[in-house]
Every structure is written in C-alpha cells, then in structure tokens.
Amino acid sequence: MKLQQLRFLAAVADNGLNITIAAEALFTSQPGVSKQIRLLEDELGLKLFVRKGKRIEALTPAGEKVVERARLVLREVQAIKALADELRGEVRGRLSLATTQTQARYVLPPVINTFRQRFPEINVELHQGTSEQIAQMIGERQADFAMATGSEDLFPDVIKFPVYRWDRVVIVPRDHPLASIRKPLSLAALARYPLVTYLFSDRPKSSLMTAFRDQDLAPRIAFTARDSDIIKTYVRTGLGVGIVAGMALLPGTDDDLRVLEARHLFPRLTTWIGFRRDFLLKNFHADFLHLLAPHLEPTLIDDALRGRPVPELQSLISNTALPLRNAPGETDEPATGRKQA
C-alpha cells in the first residue's frame, strides 16, 4: 500500500467520484489513477467502488470506511510535515476566515492583531459574506475557518466550536416615539413600526419572525442589510426601527441613538467558528482558536484534530459555558430602554 494510492482514492471521493476530474486535480493521468486504485483494491481484497461499465456510481460500504481512514492517514502525513516546519522554525502560511460583517468589525480586530504579533509570517485573509456565502467559501476551500451565528444546517461537514452568546437590541433616533418609553418594550409595540434589520431576518423560519409569529403578530420589514453600520445609518434617516446585535453599538460613535433592550423579546444567539472535517490544522490555527475562544478546553480542539466523531464532540461542546458579548456596560439583568453608555 502506497501513500499515492491513498491520495488517489481520497481525490476520487472528493471530486464527485469522477476519475477524470480527480486526475486533473492531482496533475496526473486518468489511466494512472484507475490503475493505482485497482492495485489498492487487489491488495485489500475489497471492492471500494460500485461500477457500471467504466463509470463509478458510488462507494461501497467498505469503500466509505477505507476512504475515511485514508483521509486520516493523509492528514497525519501533512501534520508531520507541518511539525517539521515548526521544529525548523519555519512558521509560514496563511489563515483564511470567512465571516459576517458584525464579527469582522466588532469582534475580530483585537484577536487578529494579537495573532499577527505572535505570527508575523502568517498572512491573514478575511472574507465577509452572508451565511450562505460563508458556507460556499468554506465548502469550496476558499477559507480555512467559517464563523457565523446559527445556520448550522448550511455547514453539515464543518466541526463547530461555540465562541460566545449575544442578544439583539432595538435602536431608534432620540426623537422617535419609542425613545421615551419607560416600560419594557413589547413585540406589539415594535410591530407598529417598519423594521430595519439583518439580511434574511425576514425569512419565515428566522428566530425574529418566529418570535412575532408566536404572538400572532406580523412585523413590517422595511429594509435588510448584512452590515450593522448600514442598518444604523438607515435608522438615523428615519427609515425604520433597527434591530441589531448589542455588540454593534459603540460608545461615542452611536450616542445619537436610543438603545432599547430586547433580550426578553428574542432568543439569545450563539456565534460559532468551525473548520472542515478534512482540514489540516497547524499549530498556528489552533492558537488562533484559543485566542478567539479561550474558554474552550485545549483537549476539545485536540480531539477534533484527531478526528473524534462529530456527534460526540458536539455533545461536549453543548455543555461548554460561554461568555456573553453585548453592548458595553450592558448587564444580564432585565431592563427597560436605556441610553447608550
């Protein structure tokens, strides 16, 4: 058995069972790939693929298990090479992260700054997009990490680690009728005004729409955007009442807005970061995760690096105590409308 055979096997599995595409990705010939896979099957005494003529239709049950082990072996080979680079003091490469504007603007700057101080030879690439775009980028290997809130169903092959939890707040200009309320805000009161909030929040299954629907209310979504700063801009123009992440409100910058707490109206959300199951994490990748989420036990990431089954890993993660990240000065106590600190 040769490493080359395992590489060919994994490449065919990763390229839609298309040997021609796999050969192109490997910069080799289709007959060469077919021959090595046949030799591997002969050595193992197993059929790894279901074939119809010259076309491969599926992996056999045995083939699925062998491919899984082959990927583990190939990752370990890459890990050994990465370890050798680090032992020689050659820590180079890139770290690519796909995330939302809110994370990129309000969460990541100090983390990336500290990371770059530790690893000046590592190039950091930051891609912004919607959850759907983030899923596409990590699926097409344009990004090493995905960082998002919710939308877990878009990332079935991504191992996810929770980073923090956060609440939404309501924002209005200081001369808006809601700015003077002294009692807790209600969904009924919000439903009287056009709303300005995040892209896709108007989808029927979103947590925002569900909250209104549970009270038999129909909100009027006037404008959606993926950028918190854009939402704040349109709130200032009077287009509607804004609903944004609490962390997106900055002292000094946003003092012209009245901030109304809404944690009693909408469910608390969890932001996570993740990587593909077949992604090779180097030590600097792991250090970035620790910088971003120091509450995570190192053994948890180590288990993921070693290919621990995802359901077991997610069970451990679900019991992790997470920090709460909201607007500066905001407590976890129920409150009425408040001024921006």
Q: Which pLDDT value is given to residue 86?
A: 66
Q: Are 210 and 236 in contact (CB under 8 A)?
A: no
Residue pair 199/228 in contact by the 8 Å Cβ criterion:
no
What are the backbone dihedrals phi and psi of residue 274, each rounded to the nearest 5 degrees, phi first?
A: -155, 170
Q: What class has domain 168-267+331-339?
A: alpha beta
Topology alike, domains 93-164+270-308 and 168-267+331-339: yes
Sequence-distant (6+) residues with CB within 8 A of 155 are: 135, 138, 146, 148, 274
Q: Tell me the C-alpha distance between 269 and 326, whole Å.
A: 11
Distance CA 205, CA 138 (A): 24
Tens-level pLDDT at each residue, the chain (341 residues): 888 888 888 888 888 888 888 888 888 898 888 898 889 888 989 899 888 887 888 899 898 899 988 888 887 787 777 677 666 665 668 899 999 999 999 999 999 999 999 999 899 999 999 899 999 999 888 999 999 998 888 898 888 888 999 999 999 999 999 999 889 999 999 999 999 999 888 888 899 999 999 999 999 999 999 899 999 999 999 999 999 999 999 989 999 999 999 999 999 999 999 998 778 778 888 889 989 998 877 777 777 666 665 555 566 666 667 788 876 555 444 433 443 32
Cβ(299)–Cβ(320) below 8 Å: no
pTM greater than 0.75: no
Whole-angstrom distance, CA of residue 299 vs CA of residue 316: 11
Phi-psi region of 94 (alpha: psi -120 to 50; beta: other; left: phi over 0): beta
Which one of 3.40.50.300, 3.40.190.10, 1.20.1630.10, 3.60.21.10 gives the CATH number of domain 93-164+270-308? 3.40.190.10
Domain ranges of the chain: 3-87, 93-164+270-308, 168-267+331-339
Half-sphere exposure of 223 (CA within 13 A, CB side): 20
What pLDDT is recorded for position 341? 28
Angle subtended at Cα 164 by Cα 299 and Cα 219, rounded to the nearest 5 degrees: 145
List residues bridging with 259 in a β-sheet: 171, 338
CATH number (3.30.70.3280, 3.20.20.70, 2.30.30.90, 1.10.10.10) of 3-87 reads 1.10.10.10
Rounded to whole angstroms, how far apart are CA atoms 333 and 153?
32
